[in-house]
Structure 1
Amino acid sequence: MILSKKRWQVERPDATLVQALQNDLQLSAIAAKILAARGCETPADAESLLNMTEASIHDPFLMPGMTEAVARIEQALEKGEKILIYGDYDAGATRF
């Protein structure tokens, strides 16, 4: 087994906030902790994140390179080329 020389630093969210999220939104402790760690400071913030609407999603074309990426995908589709999609575990965190 390879032992890491790195030490994890786990931040603990505010217990009062976690309890408020649990109570107000009827969430499990782990869900409330995750929301608090994601920056939800009120039950309203958490509710907004949990019940997103299409109107609250950012325009993907605001991301650098999106226009070029779409053009390249369209070109690959037209030519029948294979497309490889790669993303890391945090690929969806552009909202935060």
Structure 2
Amino acid sequence: MIESRKRWRLTTPDEQTVQEIQKELNLSSVLAKILVTRGLNTADAARTFMQMDATCMHDPYLMKDMDLAVERIRQAIDNQEKIVVYGDYDAGATRF
């Protein structure tokens, strides 16, 4: 078995902050702990984070060759080709 050389640093969120966010936003304790651990220490910050809309997202055309990808997808649709989409586990986390 391969042993990792990395050491995890686990943090413990402030329990009072977790309880305040949990109560004010009616969340599970697990979700409140995750939010506080991510640095969202107020109910307003957590609410804003969870109510993200399209105005918070980056323009996808800022990615290199996005126009070429869109053109190829349209070609595949027109030709009734099968399309497979691959992505890694945090592909949507580019805003953090």
TM-score tier, shorter chain, comes to: 0.7 to 0.9
Rate the CA distance shift 1:55–1:85 in 2: closer, same or farther, 3 A: same
Runs of at least 5 residues in structure 1 that lack an aligned partner in the other structure: none
Moved over 4 A (4+): none
Q: 1:45 to 1:67 in 2, by over 3 A?
A: farther
The TM-score with structure 1 as length reference comes to 0.72
Structure-2-length-normalised TM-score: 0.72
Q: Please report the RMSD computed on the Cα atoms of aligned residues, expressed in angstroms.
A: 2.3
* 2:60 aligned partner, one-letter code: P
Identity of aligned residues (%): 47
CA–CA separation in structure 1 for the residues paired with 2:59 and 2:29: 32
Between Structure 1 and Structure 2, which shows a larger proportion of helix residues?
1
The count of residues paired between Structure 1 and Structure 2 equals 95
- 1:76 paired residue number: 76
User: 1:64–1:40: structure 2 CA closer, same or farther, 3 Å change rule?
Assistant: farther
The residue number in structure 1 matching 2:3 is: 4
1:34–1:65 distance in 2 versus 1, CA, 3 Å: farther
73-82 vs 21-30, which deviates more? 73-82
Alignment gaps of 5+ in structure 2: none
The CA distance in 2 between the partners of 1:17 and 1:66, in whole Å, is: 41
Cα displacement string for residues 48-86 of structure 1 (whole angstroms, at most 9, x for unaligned residues): 122233333333223333222212211222233322211
